[in-house]
Amino acid sequence: MFNRKRRLRQVAAIASISSLVTGCGVFSSGSSDDKGPITVGTTSAPSTLDPAASWDQSWELFRNIYQTLLSYPSGATSPQPDAADNCRFTDSASKTYRCELRSGLKFADGHTLDARAVKYSIDRIRKINLNGGPAGLLGSLDRVQVLGDREVVFHLNKADATFPFVLATPAMSIVDPDEYPASSLRKDGKVYGSGPYTLASYEEGKKAELVRNDNYQGYADRKNSAVTIRYYQESAPMVADLKKGALDAAFRGMDADDIVDLQKHDADGNIQLVEGAGIEINYLVFNPKHSWASNVAVRKAVAQVVDRGAIAHKVYKDTVEPLYSMVPKGLTGHTTDFFDDFGNPSTAKARKILTDAGIKERVPLTFWYTTDRYGSSTKLEFAELKRQLEDSGLFTITLKSRPWKTYVQGYQDGEYPVFGRGWFPDFPDPDNFIAPFVGNQNALGTPYPEPEITGTLLPRSRSESDRANVVSDFERAQQILVNDARLLPLWQGKQFVAASEDISGAEQALDPSTIMMMWQLYRKTSW
């Protein structure tokens, strides 16, 4: 399993990662107590500790400290019971979903976790209804019913075969009703969950210290007793710490140059670099509240000029690949509609789009990006976008940036004409690359009413439990997005986890939505 001479351990798909290590007995796992916690670095710091406020990479921490009814054990591609003992649709119309909880569940503070707590947690998300928050995931939910201490019934207002996937997202984390206010966010920085770990201490933007939750009952087989997550704003210092042994592992936000460099260390045998096929995407959002960005001809002209291949090669050193659809390669219904409609980058075609719309002057646009969410290559990416668009002679681009926490507030308030976002999926289904971005309330905080998608295509696809039968609906949805050009896909990422040579479990640590399951990591105690 651990081959010093291999340059890179390729993982064909995250969902099948576990098959690479099943039955491998070269190393035995043991407690990390003798050498302290497993220390993991990432550039993906939480924006909040309250699940009702988060539709972003705060989920990475949530998966490890909170619990959901359903989740993804290693190797699973569909949701499996976690806090629940079993869940199922009880009708043929996919409108009534019933879950029975495990017996004897408790929060980390010893309070009882029962059906009332589940209902309270879900109702709380909807009542707070934060703009850009996870309430947007619950559009198909009518009401939550409690039957006794252990049974919860979700009554949907329309067929929704994806509802189990929604319940498996960390947004649906179960919180203690005695500790979390029903109609407002928790603001004291404390966490009361029932997940594999408790949050022993937290320094915003710096580190989170996790220790084993002795009250936990769920699927996670914890291979360590403590994890410290260190948050970085840039890739370089994180990778430097990994090389000198200050970190045991690193993921999320490693720059292309650092990944290429780590491949060399992998060949030397002192760093493992695990690559997985990812479904992370990166894209631009045009806000129609701003004059130039509201013009479809401007948006299409930008789409006609942008050279995705140059971004993937020059900025990301081919650690990502060009993306021509909001639904990434590898998922049902993926298309290449942006390429089919616009072809290769062309200044001449872009100029014609603008002149046909009566636009003859250079178009001024302000592009915003975040400095500390997706890695420091983001700055280079936006510099390359600026270069491409200004070299066409058709645009004047101003670049602005903010740290993630204030960046989020800016796009939720509709402040940015054009802004960059990455999307780490809530769940591995094409629905999750369309639905979160449309409707009056969505993950972007920028209303995008699209009645054919929200009123016809998504409802029809959600009535189909066999997801192979939804291809035509998602192909149509993607063509509508291309016609509007309000969302411009740029690239699809790969997943990388780098770890020191004495750490095992990295191959199993990413779930199908690419969230890191910290309990899979452990130190090798024998060779």
Quick one: DSSP state of residue 453?
Answer: I
**Of the candidates 255, 213, 219, the residue with the CA atom closest to the CA atom of residue 235:** 255
Q: What is the pLDDT of residues 365-418, one digit of tens each?
A: 999 999 988 877 899 999 999 999 999 999 999 999 999 889 999 998 999 999
Predicted local confidence at residue 483, as pLDDT: 97
Predicted local confidence at residue 14, as pLDDT: 31
Predicted local confidence at residue 3, as pLDDT: 30
Mean pLDDT of the chain: 89
pLDDT at 35 over 80: no
Q: What is the pLDDT of residues 464-508, one digit of tens each?
A: 878 889 999 999 999 999 999 999 999 999 889 999 999 999 988
pLDDT at 177 over 50: yes
pLDDT at 31 over 50: no
Mean pLDDT, residues 245-266: 88
Predicted local confidence at residue 228, as pLDDT: 98
Cα torsion 446, 450, 453, 459: sign: positive
> Would you state the structure tokens that stand for residue 504, as one six-digit string?
């095992």
Is residue 47 a contact partner of residue 54, using CB atoms and an 8 Å limit?
yes
Token pair 């003859």 is found at 360
Highest-scoring range by mean pLDDT, 21-30, 344-353, 427-436:
344-353
3-state secondary structure 271-326: EEEEEEEEEEEEEEEECCCCCCCCCHHHHHHHHHHCCHHHHHHHHCCCCEEECCCC
Q: Which residues contact 252 (CB under 8 A, 6 or more apart)?
A: 42, 43, 44, 57, 60, 375, 516
pLDDT at 266 over 60: yes
pLDDT at 1 over 70: no
CA distances from 124 to 82, 176, 186, 410, 511 (A): 21, 11, 11, 24, 26
Rounded-to-integer distance, Cα 298 and Cα 226, Å? 51
Higher pLDDT among residues 79 and 144, named by residue = 144
Predicted local confidence at residue 8, as pLDDT: 35
Mean pLDDT, residues 161-175: 95
Predicted local confidence at residue 230, as pLDDT: 98
Rounded-to-integer distance, Cα 425 and Cα 326, Å? 11
**3 state SS of 430:** helix
Q: What is the pLDDT of residues 426-435, one digit of tens each?
A: 888 899 999 9
Predicted local confidence at residue 139, as pLDDT: 87
